[in-house]
Every structure is written in structure tokens, then in C-alpha cells.
Amino acid sequence: MVINTFLSLIHSNLCILFVTGTSVVLSIYIVIHILLHKDDVKSSIGWIAFVLSSHSFFSIILYIFLGINRVKRKGTRLRGPAVVFKNSSLATSDILKTIPTHYKQFVAFGHKVYPQDFTLGNSVQPLQNGIEAYPEMIKAIKNANKEILISSYIFDYDNETNKFLEAIKMAIKNGAVVKILVDGIGILKFFHNSIERKFSKIKGLEYGVFLPPQIPIAMPFVNLRNHRKMMVIDGETAFFGGMNLSKNNVLVNDIKKGVLDITFKLNGPIISQISKVFEDDWEFVTGKKFQSVFKKSYFVNSGAIPARIIPDGPDNKNGIIEFIIHGAINIATKKIIIATPYFLPENNILTALEMAAMRGVDVEIVIPNKSDHRFINWAATSNFLRLVESGVRIYRTPPPFDHSKIFIVDYEWIFLGSANWDVRSFKLHFESNIEIFSKSLAKKLCMIIESKKQKAKITTISECKNMSFLKHIRNNAFRLLTPYG
């Protein structure tokens, strides 16, 4: 009996030593992983302290599930390295001759961030809301006889989108090849019919769904979304921006369901770059080589605006769109105008805006007073005080919800597209923006922004400071839930 007790103690101690040793080895491995893969110093210190102080399997498991950024890794694994399409009409060295001197260094910076050349000879027309945009889109689709490419995060199943489907049927009869890409989450409907049902009934229509969720409960699918919105008709006309396809975009007077937005009608060589982004997405979604009906370059000059496309996503090592935005803020000397439905950038962008305002740049941010997601409102509000104290003016527009996305610097440089000013757009989703130099377009967009500001409420320092203690706690707590990469 004594021997059995002795052996039992030895066994117990060996088990304890094994568990402790394994925990120590795993903790060391986790620390090495943190040092090699995490760029944020505060985050790294926090995780290292947590893992080393506890030496428990719980802390190790917690880091494995919450501390490792799988989104970028999965994005790179799924898509492979990001593609740069260099088939434009001008090299960057040529475009430098056409822009103001103080922008030349910024253009060189932008080319280092993403080596996509500019194109010249483009025209860009802003179209507000579905009331202006949809008739133009439908008319172009009806008259198409060669090729239609459509990519939309949301393509709803409703009476308004029926008009698009009827126009597509007409284009197919005209001989047009039609390809449509939609996002698996953007079209996901739990209690309503999905647009896929209607797509499948149109003979001759090809469509693909970007990363459809296998089971509705698999919440990781909220990342790695294709958030791009673009349409190319016969290689002659493109529609590009942040506007989805839904009846809500024509309900401009409905304060509950309506969505205000802006998209852009483009003509010129920039269409070549837009088409290439679609082609890359199509090949990824379908697994098939994209077969264009066009055998050679068919994009002709139709204006004088220089522009280039900036696609981005977790298949890129760094956030390209965020880098471009950060650089543009830093070169501003007069004015910064930001219109976005969601404003939750990380500290680097917030600090850049504060510094711009402090050095005398007029910085204006136009956002909805009420988001379509209440918690986003709360999280965004937590950053208001630091911005307004630095001189940034924040305008909050009344309903309907404003989904417009516009960024203007010094009344000349313009950045437009699908990306919001939040971490999800900057790091977790596939987005696409266009970089433009145009004083005339900037003037039109400034007038549109001004009309929004006239209806908006400006945020004051006293309003931010007099917020109740509980609201401060709530807002800061929801800010912590922002999906940092």
C-alpha cells in the first residue's frame, strides 16, 4: 500500500511537471510569435504580459483565437498576391508633368504604395442617389451589345432591381455577354428570397457569388467580403463608387428606409483598370479564366481628367487605401473634406487629422447623425472630443441615412469609391477606390457636400464634454469592439 501511494505521488508530480513544462514551452512559443508578427507595440506588450503572467492554457488558447490576425492570412491564401494592372495610357513620370508641383512628391509616394499608373483622357460625372444613377445605368445596359460587367456588394431582390434584370435580358438579346458578381453576405437573406433565384432564371446570364457562407452561424464570414461596386458597359461607360443596387436608394424622402448615396459615371481609359479588377475577382470566384469579348485595347479618351484605380484587400501586406488616405491628409495645405457613412479609423488617421487642423488646414467631416448600426454611432462618438478640440468640424446629417463616400484635398485631389473610413474597409474587406486630380470635379462635389452641411448639425466641444458618464463608458466600450487587424 505504501508503494502504491508512493507511485501515485510520483505519477501526480510527473503529470504536474508535464503540464507545467508544456505550458511554459507554449508560452515561450506564443511570445516569439507575438514578437515576429505583431506590429502594434501596445498590443504586443499587453499580450506578452497576459501570457507570461498566467502561464495557463487559457491565456494561450485566448491568444490563438483572438490574438492572431487570420483575416489577412486567409485573404492572401485565398487570393494569392495582389495584382497590379499596368496597361494605362501614361506612366507615372508622364503624369507628373500635368499636375501642380507640390503634388509631385505625393504622386511618387502613391506609386510606391501601389505601382499603378495614371491614365489621362477621362471624364467623371457625379450621380446622386438612385433617382439619378439608376436610369443612367439601366439605359446603358439596355443599349449594350458587347459586354456588361457588374459587381455589387448588395443586389437586392425588389421591384427596383427588377428594372435592371429586364434591361439585362434586353442586352442579352442584343448579343451582349453579361457577367455579374455579388457578395455572399451582401445578398444573404434569412427570411426573403435571394437575388440568385432570379439570376438563375435568366438564360445567358453568368454570375458568381463571392465567398458564400456554408452555414449561417459561421460568423467569420463577416470579414473577407467583396465590398466593391462597379459596372462596365461595352467598354465605353463605367459606373463606380459606393452605391449598392436596392430600392432603398430611390426612397430619398423615406427617413426610415431611404438611403442617400452618390456614384460616378466614367468614360475613358480608366475603364481598362476597372475592368481588370473585375476580371481578377471573376477568376477568383468562378475559378475560370476570364474571357473578354474585346481582343485589343478599346478604351478611348473622352475628357482630360487623370485617374488611376486603387484596389485593396487583405491579400495586400499593408492597407493601400489607408496609406493613400494618410499621405493625402499630410500634404493638405488648405482644405480636407470627408464624407463617409462610417467614421471609425485607427489612431494614426485620427492623429493626422488633428495635426492637419492644428497647422491651419480647414478639416470637415460629414457623417450621418444616426447610423444604420447603432453601435457604430456609439463607437464613432468616442473620438469626437479629441477631434473638435483640435479644430476639426464634424457635421452630422439627419435621416435618411447617407451612404456617400467622398474625400477631397485642397479643392483638387479626389478619392472616391467603395471604402469607408473604418478598420473593416481599411484592413478586412476587398475595396476599390479611384484617385483623381480635377478642380472642376472637386468644385461640383464641394457643392454637393455644402448642401449636406446646410441640413446638418455641427458637433460642439460642450456637447462632447457634457455627455453623461454612462454614455462615455458605453461609447468607449463599443470602440474597443472595433475589429482591429
Pair 138, 218 in one domain:
yes
Pair 48, 127 in one domain:
no
Inter-helix orientation angle 374-381/469-480, to 10°: 100
pLDDT in tens, the chain (485 residues): 556 565 565 656 555 565 566 667 667 766 776 676 656 555 567 556 666 665 565 666 656 554 555 445 454 555 555 455 454 445 556 667 777 777 889 998 999 999 999 998 999 999 999 999 999 999 999 999 999 999 999 999 999 999 999 999 999 999 999 999 999 888 877 656 689 999 999 999 999 999 887 655 444 446 678 999 999 999 999 999 999 999 999 999 999 999 999 999 999 999 999 999 999 999 999 998 888 776 555 567 788 899 999 999 887 777 899 999 999 999 999 999 999 999 999 999 999 999 999 999 999 999 999 988 888 888 888 999 999 999 999 999 999 999 999 999 999 999 999 999 998 899 889 999 999 999 999 999 999 999 999 999 999 999 999 988 888 888 888 777 665 43
Rg (CA), the chain: 25
In a domain, 392, yes or no: no
Pair 279, 130 in one domain:
yes
Please state the domain count of the chain: 2
In a domain, 295, yes or no: yes
In a domain, 477, yes or no: no
Q: What is the CATH classification number for the domain harbouring 289?
A: 3.30.870.10
Final residue in a domain of this structure, among 22, 43, 68: 68
Cα–Cα distances (Å) from 2 to 11, 12, 16, 184, 280, in that order, read 14, 15, 21, 66, 73
Final residue in a domain of this structure, among 32, 53, 68: 68
| Structure confidence at residue 175 (pLDDT) | 96
Query: Quick one: DSSP state of residue 83?
Result: P
Answer yes or no: are the C-beta atoms of 234 and 144 closer than 8 Å. yes
Pair 52, 159 in one domain:
no
Give the whole-angstrom CA distance, residue 143 versus residue 399.
35
Pair 144, 257 in one domain:
yes
Final residue in a domain of this structure, among 300, 316, 348: 300
In a domain, 85, yes or no: no
Q: Residue 61 has which C-alpha cell?
A: 488558447
| Structure confidence at residue 303 (pLDDT) | 86
Pair 167, 57 in one domain:
no
Q: Which of these, 442, 463, 333, lies nearest to 394 by C-alpha position? A: 463
| Structure confidence at residue 232 (pLDDT) | 97
Pair 170, 248 in one domain:
yes
In a domain, 155, yes or no: yes
- Which amino acid appears at position 431 of this protein? E
Pair 53, 147 in one domain:
no
Pair 206, 131 in one domain:
yes
**Dihedral through CA 399, CA 402, CA 407, CA 411, nearest 10?**
-60
Q: Which of these, 374, 331, 435, 465, lies nearest to 115 by C-alpha position? A: 435
Give the whole-angstrom CA distance, residue 58 versus residue 321.
37
DSSP 394-429: EEEEPSSEE---EEEETTTEEEEES--EEHIIIIIS
In a domain, 479, yes or no: no
CA 324 distance to own-chain centroid? 13
Q: Which domain holds residue 39?
A: 2-68
In a domain, 114, yes or no: no
Pair 214, 149 in one domain:
yes
Pair 9, 147 in one domain:
no
Give the whole-angstrom CA distance, residue 405 versus residue 419.
7
SS3 38: coil
Cell 473620438 -> residue: 383
In a domain, 187, yes or no: yes
Pair 141, 206 in one domain:
yes
